[in-house]
Amino acid sequence: MIRTVGVVGGGLMGSGIAEVTARAGMPTYVREVSPELATRAMQSIEKSMTKAVERGKLTADARAAALANLSSGTDLAPAAKADLVIEAVVEDLDVKNALWRDANALARPETIFASNTSSLTIAAMALASGRPDRVVGLHFFSPVPVMNLVEVVRTVGTSDATFDAAKLFVLHLGKTPVIAKDASGFIVNRLLVPYMLDAIRALEQGVGTTVDIDTAMRLGTGHPMGPLTLLDFVGLDTTYRIAEIMFTEYRDARFAPPPLLKRMVLVGWIGRKSRRGFYDYTQDPPTPTDLGV
């Protein structure tokens, strides 16, 4: 049974995962590569829960209890010694596998390793983990405290006990697990990434303007946001990296990054986090960026 959690990586996804595990009553340790980033992760979680209290989604007592479950630092050992280690580091297989090798040397034999990867296969990490029967994919969605879905991914080597424990863990968080095959992109990104890339191609080809493409998909299909707004939210650099991984895996043109996406990443227009993407977020409200298409 999973009672304690170590989260490696305290960025947007890692801090969100740590928040929901702490809120579910699990002592959670967040490991970052520097004291400054560890502090920033804790501040991000505290800010998120404060907003939840203000919106009536969380009580002040529940916030205090969750914060009491949280700790952070730069030492990997406290994370590795938890019942479950979830990695949420950069989408780079070499980085992830180096982490698993280090964690395996510190972890108890029964500890489960889970990757939050959105595009890499879990099997690609199984050997490096040193415990292929205790490795599983747990792909959360952003923002983690709000989104209810978690893709649970097993490899051919994942044991039934590990898989069952992972599903029970997701249910304990109050989220809905879906079972996905260990293939790059799993279910959601296998369908979502080509959709977002096609929206960029439509813009390149003059099918519609940035605003018209987004408006059409919001009002015509009931999506909460248009594909170009979604790309800015996800991050164009992240999307580009995921698309390259999936194209390498499948060699299918649907996953090939469009030229416009590459150009925007090269100039640093990567969405909300850079204040410029398909929209200019230095303006209030944001205005479409002149991309010369």
**Distance of alpha carbon 90 from alpha carbon 95, whole angstroms:** 7
Averaged over 65-70, what is the pLDDT? Answer: 98
Q: Quick check: 85 and 107 in contact, CB under 8 A?
A: yes
Clarify whether 148 is annotated catalytic.
no
Looking at the DSSP bridge assignments, the partners of residue 115 are: 87, 137
Q: Which is the catalytic residue, given 69, 72, 116, 139?
A: 139
Q: What does the pLDDT read at residue 69?
A: 98
pLDDT of 293 > 90? The answer is no
Q: Give the pLDDT confidence of 182-203 residue by residue, as tens digits.
A: 999 999 999 999 999 999 999 9
Using CA atoms, how far residue 250 sits from 155, 197, 239, 273, in Å, is: 18, 15, 16, 29
Q: Which is the catalytic residue, given 69, 118, 129, 184?
A: 118
Q: Give the pLDDT confidence of 204-248 residue by residue, as tens digits.
A: 999 999 999 999 999 999 999 999 999 999 999 999 999 999 999
- Domains defined along the chain, listed by start: 5-180 (3.40.50.720), 189-286 (1.10.1040.10)
Q: Which is the catalytic residue, given 48, 116, 151, 184?
A: 151
Clarify whether 189 is annotated catalytic.
yes
Clarify whether 32 is annotated catalytic.
no
- Using pLDDT thresholds of 50, 70 and 90, give the confidence band for residue 292: confident
| Average predicted confidence (pLDDT) for the chain | 97
Averaged over 128-135, what is the pLDDT? Answer: 97
Q: What does the pLDDT read at residue 96?
A: 98
Clarify whether 172 is annotated catalytic.
no
Using CA atoms, how far residue 239 sits from 108, 196, 204, 281, in Å, is: 35, 9, 17, 19
Q: What does the pLDDT read at residue 1?
A: 87
Q: Quick check: 2 and 28 in contact, CB under 8 A?
A: no
Averaged over 28-45, what is the pLDDT? Answer: 98
**Distance of alpha carbon 165 from alpha carbon 169, whole angstroms:** 6
